[in-house]
Structure formats: structure tokens, C-alpha cells
Amino acid sequence: MSPEEILYWLKETDRVKLEELRSRADSMRRSTVGEEVHLRGLIEFSNLCSMHCLYCGIRKSNMEINRYCMSQAEIIEAVSIADDFGYGTIVLQGGNYDGLCAEKTGELIKTVKSRYSKAVALSLGERKLGEFSYWRRCGADRYLLKFETSDPSLDAALRPDNGTGYSIRIEMLKVLRRMGYETGSGVITGLPEQTYSSLAEDLALFRELDLDMIALGPFIPHPGTPLGRMFADGPDKSSEQVPNDEITALKCIAISRILCPEANIPSTSALGAVDYEGYARGLEWGANVIMCNVTPYRYRNLYEIYPNPNACWNVNQQHVWITDIIKGLGRKPGSGTGPRIRRISIMQGQSDSCELQNGLYRNCSSG
């Protein structure tokens, strides 16, 4: 798919023509990753964050949120629940928090790997390279680091005072791959001032990075954020502004499947939050993964990066609902850890001596 074709499909609104895109992506999904839908056990173990992203409800500057950090015992209990449901991968997710204890996280990874036959995926934001390397040695298999937008000016506007830009995340993804991680990234569709051209470049970057996992979801305004308050007056109606609607996110899933046929692509919780049928539609447009939230109920509403009405469901209701969706589409829940079906041979990188200075990697023997 050429850059021109990506842009064409992003702007296309005719539902009859879009069926061609959906069908093409679904056929690609069927021939490459098959009919299984892999279920991941998501544990949002902390909403502590050091970042100030204007779109995120757990941003450091949001003083209206109750902060939490689950104990290791609570996390392991959630892992046990995921195991009971047969979820092959555990996703440990938290805010981009400077005070995160790397050693305790490493011990947690070791405990999960020693007790359960699971893949462990981490989504903990920008970390020191030594931490990435240490967690890999502890047994972590995957790392998700979304760059949200590859437009430098938009990134700078949306993530002020964070000290780094999207480009450093791209470099981190490359280093993570050299360390042996399966790497994942993604974007938010419909961010204020996001243009079709910049979104097309985001999608093309997925292919350039040869991502193992791709996460896409629509921008959902949070009333406790600057963008949420701005959005209360209504979205920008300019011709180049990407809408934050469901169909745009679905088009991006389909394009991503065509660009990266073997990647694991979730039908995200953001789609489910926008529409009750969102999970099913994501699967119909090329997705093959669903994240099942096994975070304890008392914490789940506190990890509010955006308002999500489905957070009120208990784990049993959620499991039944999601498996019914999968079976209703004639597909089946996946078995095993559900890695990317093709793994590139990667030289193990030596990264503990790497340092991040002024947005660049210095003295890094892994390249």
C-alpha cells in the first residue's frame, strides 16, 4: 500500500467503498494470523505518572484522581485469575512513573514466569535502557511503547514538559527489538490538530519499524484534562482534521493489517468504550487480539486514561461478553501465548552501559 493509497483510504467516507478496505484487511488477517483471537490479561497495576500529556486522565497534573499502586500479592492474585480464564499473556501496565522500582518490577516478572506458563508484556512508558535490559533478563517477552503521533509539532504540543519527543520513543523501540523483545507501538486517532497527512505517516512508520504489535484507538476526551475541556466546545471541523470517530479508527486497523500482515493488532478497549459493538467491529476490520482487564475492581475506575463505561464490568461478565463476541463472529479464542507468528532473528544487544543524553543515545554498544 503506497503513501497515496493510505491517504486515500483515510479520507474515504463512502461506506460501500470502505467495505472493499474492510474485506481486504479481513482476508489478509485470515490468511496470515488465522481465526484465533488471542486474549491478554491486562493488569493496570498503578496510575502514578510523571508525565503531563494533555489528553490523558492520569497525567501528573490531574489532582482530582486518587492514586494507587497495587502490591505484588494483589498483582499475582490478578495473574491467577487470568490463568483461570486461560489468557496466555499477562500485560503489566502503569503510568510513565519516574519512581517505579525496577528491581521490584523485575522480581514480579520472575515470579509470574516461574509460576505460570505465560508471556509477560510490559507497558510502562519511557524507561532507562538498563531497566529495559534488566526486565528482559528477568523474563519479560514484550514491550508496548506507543508514540501516539509522529508529527513533531503536534507531539510537542500534546506532551509538554516531558523532556523527550516521539523520536526518542522510536529509538527506544529499535533498542528494545535488539534486546530481544517483541515490540509494539501505536497512535491515537483524531487527536486535536492531527491531520490526515500526519496520520498517514504514522501508519507508514508501523511498517518501517516492522512492529510485532500495533495498538490503535480513537481519541476519547477526558473532562479532567486540558484537551477534554477544550473538546467540550466541539471538535475541529476543518477539512484536514482527523475525526475521533469509530470508523476512522477502524480504517486505521485495516490499513495497519495490510501494511503489517503478521502483527498482533488488538480491538482496543477504546473502541469498546465508544460503542458496545466496538470490539466486534475491530475484529471484523483486521484485529486478532483483545485485552481482558483483570485489574481488581476497586482500582479499575482509577486507571482512567479516558472515560470507559465498560470498566464497571466484573471479570466474569467481561470474559463471557468477549468470548460470546468472538464465537458470534465464527472465530475462536486463541491458545498459548500468541506471539507474532514470524519472529525475526535479532542479535542480543548489550545495553546496560547506554545512556540517554539530550534525546540521543550515547556510548551504546547495542547501536
Query: Which grid cell sits at 51?
Result: 508525565
DSSP 81-150: HHHHTT-SEEEEEE---TT--HHHHHHHHHHHHHHS--EEEEE--S--HHHHHHHHHHT--EEE---B--
* Residue ranges per structural domain of the chain: 3-362
3-class SS of residue 163? coil
Residue 103's CB: how many other CB atoms inside 10 A?
Answer: 10
In terms of pTM, does the model score above 0.85?
A: yes
Distance CA 353, CA 111 (A): 26
242 neighbors 189 (Cβ within 8 angstroms): yes
3-class SS of residue 226? helix
Query: Which grid cell sits at 141?
Result: 517477552
Q: Is 359 exposed, middle or buried (CB count within 10 Å of its CB: 0-12, 13-18, 19+)?
A: exposed
With b for 16 or more beta-carbon neighbours within 10 A and e for fewer, the 13-45 pattern comes to: eeeeebeebbebbbebbeebbeebbbbbbbbbb
Residue 285's CB: how many other CB atoms inside 10 A?
Answer: 27
What pLDDT score was predicted for residue 363?
34
CATH number for the segment(s) 3-362: 3.20.20.70
294 neighbors 287 (Cβ within 8 angstroms): no
Identify the segments of the chain with pLDDT beneath 50: 343-367
Strands 289-293 and 36-46: parallel
3-class SS of residue 294? coil
What is the residue type of 311? Answer: A
What pLDDT score was predicted for residue 349?
39
With b for 16 or more beta-carbon neighbours within 10 A and e for fewer, the 315-339 pattern comes to: beebbeebbebbeeeebebbeebbb
User: Minimal CA–CA distance to 183: which of 104, 253, 263, 286?
Assistant: 263
What pLDDT score was predicted for residue 352?
37
DSSP 240-281: TBPP-SHHHHHHHHHHHHHHSTTSB-B--HHHHHH-TTHHHH
Alpha-carbon distances of 366 from 105, 174, 181, 222, rounded to whole Å: 23, 10, 14, 39
